Structure formats: structure tokens, C-alpha cells
Amino acid sequence: MTLSIADHLAARLGFLFPDDALPLEALTHKSYRNEHPECACDDNERLEFLGDAVLDLAISQLLFQRQPLLPEGELTRLRAEVVSEGALAKIGCQLELGALLRLGRGESRSGGREKPSLLANAVEALLGAVFLASGFAAAQDVVERLFAPSLAEAQASRQGGDFKTRLQELLQGERGLPPTYRMLPPSGPDHERRYCAEVLFADDVLGRG
């Protein structure tokens, strides 16, 4: 028995479409439509547009809930990392979307099934399709499931990242000015000099090391 596209995607997305119409559109590249004008469904560009907005909102809400102490600038940076083309393409590979994409012959021959941009677009289009089929709550469930590893990686990267840059962004964003740095006179004997610097904000010493 041949499985439908909806059945193929159900286990991968954790969501079952009521029929094949929306998932087929989400997986149809414009090159396929150009070669098959008789095709009943549109290409996936409009669904991609919708899915991009759904994804941004879903990730924004998840970050807002999970990171109550982060300022807007940090949240924006985390979101950009999670929804980057590379992160989306990785999810597209994990879902094995390349094999399901409907491409024109030329696009397929030129490696379209492995192109990060096409895989990323297909992920967004599928999220748009889930939203149209069952609303935002269902789409957010899918996003939370698919993007859990990306969210964890981004948060871990932030915690182990460049602390000087993070301090600078935090003070610039909240106080409107960056910190300043001051070298202190070296100490210790000539053969074992110790160097120390201070970080200051508005003449207050924030730290020394």
C-alpha cells in the first residue's frame, strides 16, 4: 500500500494533515510548477511567507517564556540563530524533505534536493501549512518539537559565549552607553609581571581581573 504525503510526514512532524493538499503545496518548488502548468496546486512560496511569520512568533514566544531575564537584544539574537537558514536546512535534512520535494528536472539535476535554501524554505512552508490546517497552537507544538535541539544549542552557546561582548550589548541596550576599560599598573617582579584591568561604567568599577 502506497503511503500518502500526509502519512509520510506524520511521524516526522508529529502532526497528521487531514489530506495531501497542503503538504503537497508546501513541498512544490516553483521549478516544478513551471514544468507542470497542469499541476492543480500552487508552489510553496506563499506558504513559506506564512510559515516564516508563524515560526518567528512561535520561537519568540518560547524564548520569552524560557528566558524571563534576557533583554530584547539578546532575545532577538537568539531567535535569529534558531531560525537561520542553516538551522532550518538541518531540520529539513532530519525530516528527509529532500526526497519529498517536487522539483523541476533542471533544479533536481543541479542538486536542489540538498540545497540549504530549498530545504529551509520547505520547512517554513510546512509550518505555514500546519497553521492553515489546525491553527497556531498546533504549529507551535510542531515548532517546539522540531526546534528543541536548536533552542538548546543557542542557549548553551550564549551561556558559554563572549562575555565581554555580552556585557557591552547589555549596557548599551539598557543604559545607552558601553562600558570602558582601564589597565592598572603591573605588579610583581620583572620576571613574573602580573597585569590587571578594570571594567567601568559611569566611573563605577564593575569588575577587575
Q: Which residues does the annotation mark as catalytic? A: 52, 124
Residue type, 21: A
Q: Which residue has the cell 536542489?
A: 112
Helix, strand or coil for residue 207? strand
Cell of 54: 508563524
What is the C-alpha to C-alpha distance for residues 158 and 2, in angstroms, rounded to an integer? 45
Which is nearest to 50 in space by CA: 180, 175, 144, 139? 139
Burial of residue 8, with CB atoms counted within 10 A of its CB: 0-12 exposed, 13-18 middle, 19 or more buried? middle
The b/e string for 98-109 (b: 16+ C-beta within 10 A; e otherwise) is: bebbbbbeebbe
